Amino acid sequence: MESIRFVLASIVGQVSINDVWAQFVTGMQQTTLLEYVAVFAGIVSVWYSRKENILVYPIGLISTTIYVYLSFKYHLIGEASVNIYYSVLSIYGWYLWARRNRQHEPVLHITFSTPKMWAWQLAFFAVLYVAIYFSLVYLKEAFYPGVIPWGDAFASATAYTGMWLMARKKVESWYWWIGTNVASIPLYFAKGLVFTSVFYFVLLLMAFWGLVEWQRRARLAKH
């Protein structure tokens, strides 16, 4: 709880830059080897997703499996569910991306969402957010007092939506990844997983890069 107050205080300017830096250094010193492995595997995975390379999935599974364990350990229950979902959707996406036609060309291509698909993904996000939020409120009171329902639910619901769209190679998946990363940076910092917080900052930058790259590829596919 103190770490959460610390982050909120720093946002409103009640904590000095030196205090934030000290918290950052302490968190980095406490980073475990397991967290390092998960972070680097995650970065490599996102790099491959930007390049539309199927290695995004097997490498991503290394990161998501580790984060399932870490999320439960640090009472990030929504994020734990996300990483379980990531693992399942990684197998699904791996299958879709691997499919080839008779000319041995990929069946699935990067495309923009139609208005109907936009409506589906917004509804998907809204339903998930409400369901995850109230589930986390219950879990906070009953089992996991360290849960942050509103933040964890937002990061989780955007991630669920982004992963679903990425498996379908939709450009808009990157918008949802940007939302996930923005929410996850302070969320993990508050929990003391500082290196993971840095990881999500790197992913935020890569998400903007990935968005531009997929937009370019989708436009080229139209011609």
Decide if 161 contacts 85 (C-beta within 8 A).
Answer: no
pLDDT averaged over every residue in the chain: 84
pLDDT tens for 43-70 read 999 999 988 999 999 999 999 999 899 8
| Separation between Cα atoms, residue 61 and residue 217, nearest integer Å | 25
> Mean pLDDT across the stretch 168-190?
92
* Domain range list for the chain: 31-222
**58 contacts: CB under 8 Å, gap ≥ 6:** 90, 94
According to the model, what pLDDT value does residue 6 have? 46
| Separation between Cα atoms, residue 192 and residue 54, nearest integer Å | 32
